[in-house]
Amino acid sequence: MHDPNQDRLKVPAVTYFRTKRIRLGAEFKQFLKENLAPGATLFLLECQYTWLSSHAGERHIFQFGGKGDLCPEEYFQNSQQIADFLQRYRSDHQQWNPPAPNGRLPESEWGFEPALREDVEQFAREHGFRIRRIVFNHPQDLSPTMKFTPTCSQTVFALLVLLR
């Protein structure tokens, strides 16, 4: 992920690599089996938020930009707004030149990867757990309920707390 808008001050020194679970994994499955009561409910928080992204290889996706003031399409268009932004930060450039996106995929920080649901459903069937899906479109849709916008790590943490 590379976001020259939201992370402008960090871009020269930081590169983000975000990972998304597509499987629970053996350790997490073991943790759930050891810590959940029989018949417990697994909650899946499924944010449907997507972003224009590029496939960079098998299981690798590059996302240019991120949730904020600009919509995904604006990152790929030459505009006066971007030129003014770059000038304000004394950039030598007038526009960004990102790789062309080839689809809308789950947003790197907020979007839910559907392959994880399939693995959770299979695990729940095998071990007698129930599943409750909480599906929402935008990362902040749950904010009035939760008093904050959960990040991916907070979501996993919330699941663990709810499951105990």
Question: pLDDT confidence of 145, banded at 50, 70, 90?
Answer: low
pLDDT of residue 48: 94
Whether the predicted pLDDT of 11 surpasses 70: no
Question: pLDDT confidence of 150, banded at 50, 70, 90?
Answer: low
Mean pLDDT along residues 140-153: 62
Question: pLDDT confidence of 120, banded at 50, 70, 90?
Answer: very high
Mean pLDDT along residues 96-106: 90
Whether the predicted pLDDT of 161 surpasses 50: no
pLDDT of residue 83: 87
Contacts 24+ apart (CB under 8 A), 68-73: 68/3, 68/5, 68/6, 69/5, 70/5, 72/101, 72/104
- Predicted TM-score of the model (pTM): 0.74
Whether the predicted pLDDT of 117 surpasses 50: yes
pLDDT of residue 70: 79
Considering only residues 152 and 120, tell me which one the structure prediction assigns the higher pLDDT: 120
Question: pLDDT confidence of 142, banded at 50, 70, 90?
Answer: confident
Q: In what order do the strands lie in the sheet with 50-57?
A: 60-63, 50-57, 103-106
Residue labelled with tokens 């919330």: 158
